[in-house]
Amino acid sequence: MNKDRVYIFDTTLRDGEQVPGCKLNVDEKVRLAKVIDSLGVDVIEAGFPISSPGDFDAIKRISKEVRSTTICGLTRSIQKDIDVAAEALKYANFPRIHTGIGVSESHIKYKFKTTKDKIIERAVAATKYAKKYVEDVEFYAEDAGRADNAFLAKVIEEVIKAGATVVNIPDTTGYCMPSEYQEKINYLINNVKHIDRAIISAHCHNDLGMATANSIAAIKAGARQIECTLNGMGERAGNTALEEVVMIIKKRMKNQYFTNVDSTRLKAASEAVSEAMAMPIQANKAIVGGNAFGHSSGIHQDGVIKHRETYEIIDPKEVGVSESRIILTARSGRAAVAYRARAIGYELTKDNLDLAYSSFIKVADELKEVKDEDLVKILERQNIFQTV
């Protein structure tokens, strides 16, 4: 069976960088672009060129230094934005201009104070204008998640006619339910003339914690590009997490779909973003969190020690984590104490383990976690010494 490729559009450096306090300087952006490129993503949205001279310079340098990936710059449906984006992208091997406009009632009425016809006019004009500079033009229909499907279809049909190569259907406010978003993409596939001339892109926000679920629903409906960020960075509750989409496709959809991302680089890339943006990763973050492969309860630890797959659906090495962690806490059992003791050079007999465990559990009740150095003290207090 032929598998479909799902293109990964990384917007860590644009939508991800919009997080308050996470702004990157030019050198940091260029360095992260190289890390993101090494993952094997298909598109790097490097920034919003007209927003600041720093962003302009970063996009220009990334265009010169990252040669094998499409480099994309965001614009509004404004000629000046598009002129500046084209200038910033002029050295890119594969430049893409990402232009668009709001299409929901709320955006049309309150943000643009205009009419639906005028929105279509501006969308078409911006697409045609961007086409003068580059072949690859992506159009975003901002707040598509809350937009009327019939109007959205009309906009999308017109921008495809104007030359858009990719049509982005953002759930800008993270409002959609997965079934609703899937139906929206289905609706476009069934109601937009020449929809097959463009790639449908899903761009989901996480306000209700459904960004990843919505992106996966979009793939099922026919979207073939997912816009996402490492660690799910992004304004408010963030964007679809790149690492989640990549691993869902790899673990649960691999008979039908694939991405070009090298999953073994995910952990390192996630750490590079976290460090550069000074934004710690929550410990229970799927795939890349510090506890994603950590086990602390006795029942789970016993299972994992006997056979890793009893409590893990991903081999940590697949995402660049060296091994699962057995973390000693007051919920740990004997198997875990013996396992950690062995790992630091203490092979325990049954009697020794009984002795060590009764002392361990008292200490564990006082501590959040019993570290290796605490375990050494517990063992040596019982006259148990290293054997290897």
Residues that bind ligand KIV (CB under 6 A): 15, 140, 142, 168, 170, 172, 203, 205
Q: Is there a contact between 60 and 91 (Cβ–Cβ < 8 Å)?
A: yes
242-252 and 211-221 helices, crossing angle to 10°: 50
175 binds, among ligand KIV, Zn ion, none (CB under 5 to 8 A by kind): none
Nearest one of 234, 166, 169, 230 to 196, comparing CA atoms: 166
Residue facing Zn ion at closest CB distance:
15
Shortest CA distance to 103 belongs to which of 61, 139, 51, 155? 155
Q: How far is the CB of 47 from ligand KIV (least distance, A)?
A: 12
In order of 20, 167, 241, 274, 280, the CA distances from 277 in angstroms are 10, 29, 16, 5, 9
- Give dist(CA 333, CA 47) in Å, integer: 50
CB-nearer residue toward ligand KIV: 205 or 267: 205
Shortest distance, CB of residue 226 to ligand KIV, whole angstroms? 13
Query: Residue 177 is encoded by which pair of tokens?
Result: 């339910």
Shorter beta-carbon distance to ligand KIV: residue 9 or 360:
9
Which of 55/142 has CB closer to ligand KIV? 142
In single-letter form, the type of residue at position 262 comes to: D
Closest to Zn ion by CB, 203 or 340? 203
Measured from the CB atom, is 172 or 332 closer to ligand KIV? 172
Contact 169, 142 (CB under 8 A): no
> For residues 243 and 270, is the Cβ–Cβ distance under 8 A?
yes
Site string for Zn ion, 131-170 (x = CB under 5 A): ----------------------------------------
DSSP conformation class of 111: I
Least distance (Å) between residue 304 CB and Zn ion: 38
Minimum distance of ligand KIV from residue 234's CB (angstroms) = 8
Smallest distance, ligand KIV to C-beta of residue 12, A:
12
Q: How are the residues of the chain apportioned to helix, strand and coil, as percentages rounded to the nearest 5?
A: 50, 15, 35
Shortest Cβ 49–ligand KIV spacing (Å)? 13
What is the smallest separation between the CB atom of 269 and ligand KIV, expressed in angstroms? 21
Using the minimum distance from each CB to ligand KIV, give the nearer residue, 227 or 302. 227
User: Which long-range CB contacts under 8 A does 113-120 form with residues at least 24 apart?
Assistant: 116/151, 119/155, 120/154, 120/155, 120/158
Residue linked to tokens 């009419």: 115
Minimal distance in Å, beta carbon 14 to Zn ion? Answer: 8
Could you tell which of Zn ion, ligand KIV, none binds residue 140, using a CB distance below 5 to 8 A set by kind?
Answer: ligand KIV
Angstrom distance (rounded) from CA 215 to CA 170: 10
Q: Among 179, 175, 180, 181, which residue's Cα sits nearest to residue 202?
A: 181
- Find the helix or strand (DSSP H, E) in which 267 lies: helix 266-276
CB distance 40 to 249 below 8 Å = no
Check residue 15 for interaction with Zn ion (CB under 5 A).
yes
Binds 69: which of ligand KIV, Zn ion, none (CB < 5-8 Å by kind): none
Q: Which does 142 bind (CB under 5 to 8 A by kind): Zn ion, ligand KIV, none?
A: ligand KIV
Q: With respect to ligand KIV, which residue has the nearer C-beta, 75 or 263?
A: 75
Q: In b/e form, how buried is each residue of 153-187, taking b as 16+ CB within 10 angstroms? A: bbbbbbbbebbbbbbbbbbbbbbbebeebbebbbe
Q: Which is nearer to Zn ion, 19 or 177 (CB)?
A: 19
Nearer to ligand KIV, 147 or 304 (CB): 147
- Which residues are near Zn ion by CB under 5 A? 15
